[in-house]
Amino acid sequence: MAILNSFSLEGKVALVTGASYGIGFAIATAYAEAGATIVFNDIKQELVDKGIAAYKEKGIEAHGYVCDVTNEEAVNAFVKKVEEEVGVIDILVNNAGIIKRVPMLEMSAEAFRQVIDVDLNAPFIVSKAVIPGMIKKGHGKIINICSMMSELGRETVSAYAAAKGGLKMLTRNIASEYGEYNIQCNGIGPGYIATPQTAPLREIQPDGSRHPFDQFIIAKTPAARWGVAEDLQGPAVFLASDASDFVNGHVLYVDGGILAYIGKQPQ
């Protein structure tokens, strides 16, 4: 039974960025079930309020704050406020993210920068704000939500792939630089997960057929299905718990096997 206790998050304060819904919400609810106190942020008060209500429906008293993770001054003030009002952050999940699906030659430099800002610069900013408290406490867990695009490219996602590839290396660098303070920094690389972010890739076509990309992903995934946010909960609890204290700089792909598979031969 002792081994199960090593997965407990009792007494821990967990910050999950961008967790009003989607993957972040699923990870935060699992953390609450494992005993953690949940802190989350969103850009808009309206979404923070909706998030608090959604957590409450699950019996979770989450602490919600408005904060744009790309704004370093706002993030520093946000983390300071959390430390005063809730406690020093033990677990950080850099989950907030955006994607812009545009052919590279049609993408403006500004649009490219916006994706890099949220998906790569922000995890740097938030991690930098949280690590000093972790060092003082003598422990910390940082989980960066990477992507299959940390390993692979595809048409129209140049900015996103560049950001998520960089996030994989930022994960390794935080592990390298702060491992001696008992801080573990790892990544989770979800496969294709059914959330609002991927809804356009799953739209039913005018003739009632499945979106071509939807059919493509089903053929490319050994599990022959899209993932759901709940598929990420167990891996996320593992990486946030004492059970992973000697796992550092690793990206755990939770993708139904898609990265290992050449894809089903067309019939």
Q: What is the nearest approach in angstroms of ligand GCO to the Cβ of residue 135?
A: 31
The burial class, CB within 10 Å (0-12 / 13-18 / 19+), for 205 is exposed
Rounded Cα distance between 146 and 119, Å, is 9
**Contact of residue 95 among ligand NAP, ligand GCO, none (CB under 5-8 Å per partner type):** ligand NAP
* Residue 159 in the binding site for ligand NAP (CB under 6 A): no
Rounded Cα distance between 178 and 141, Å, is 11
Nearest to 92 by CA among 102, 82, 84, 101: 82
* Residue 95 in the binding site for ligand GCO (CB under 6 A): no
* Residue 184 in the binding site for ligand NAP (CB under 6 A): no
Token pair of 22, please? 């989607």
**Contact of residue 101 among ligand NAP, ligand GCO, none (CB under 5-8 Å per partner type):** ligand GCO
Residue from 22, 64, 187, 190 touching ligand GCO (CB under 6 A): that is 190
* Residue 154 in the binding site for ligand GCO (CB under 6 A): yes
Token pair of 167, please? 């996030």
> In this structure, are strands 183-190 and 13-17 parallel, antiparallel, or unpaired?
unpaired
* Residue 165 in the binding site for ligand NAP (CB under 6 A): no
* Residue 96 in the binding site for ligand NAP (CB under 6 A): yes
* Residue 20 in the binding site for ligand NAP (CB under 6 A): yes
Residue from 55, 65, 160, 178 touching ligand GCO (CB under 6 A): that is 160
Strand partners, 65: 41
* Residue 178 in the binding site for ligand GCO (CB under 6 A): no
- Cβ-contact 160, 99 below 8 angstroms: yes
* Residue 197 in the binding site for ligand NAP (CB under 6 A): yes
Sequence-distant (6+) residues with CB within 8 A of 243 are: 3, 6, 7
Sequence-distant (6+) residues with CB within 8 A of 237 are: 7, 9, 30, 31, 34
Q: What is the nearest approach in angstroms of ligand GCO to the Cβ of residue 186?
A: 16
Query: Applying CB under 6 A, which residues contact ligand NAP?
Result: 17-18, 20-24, 41-44, 47, 68-70, 95-98, 118, 145, 147, 190, 192-193, 195-198
Active-site residues, by number, are 160
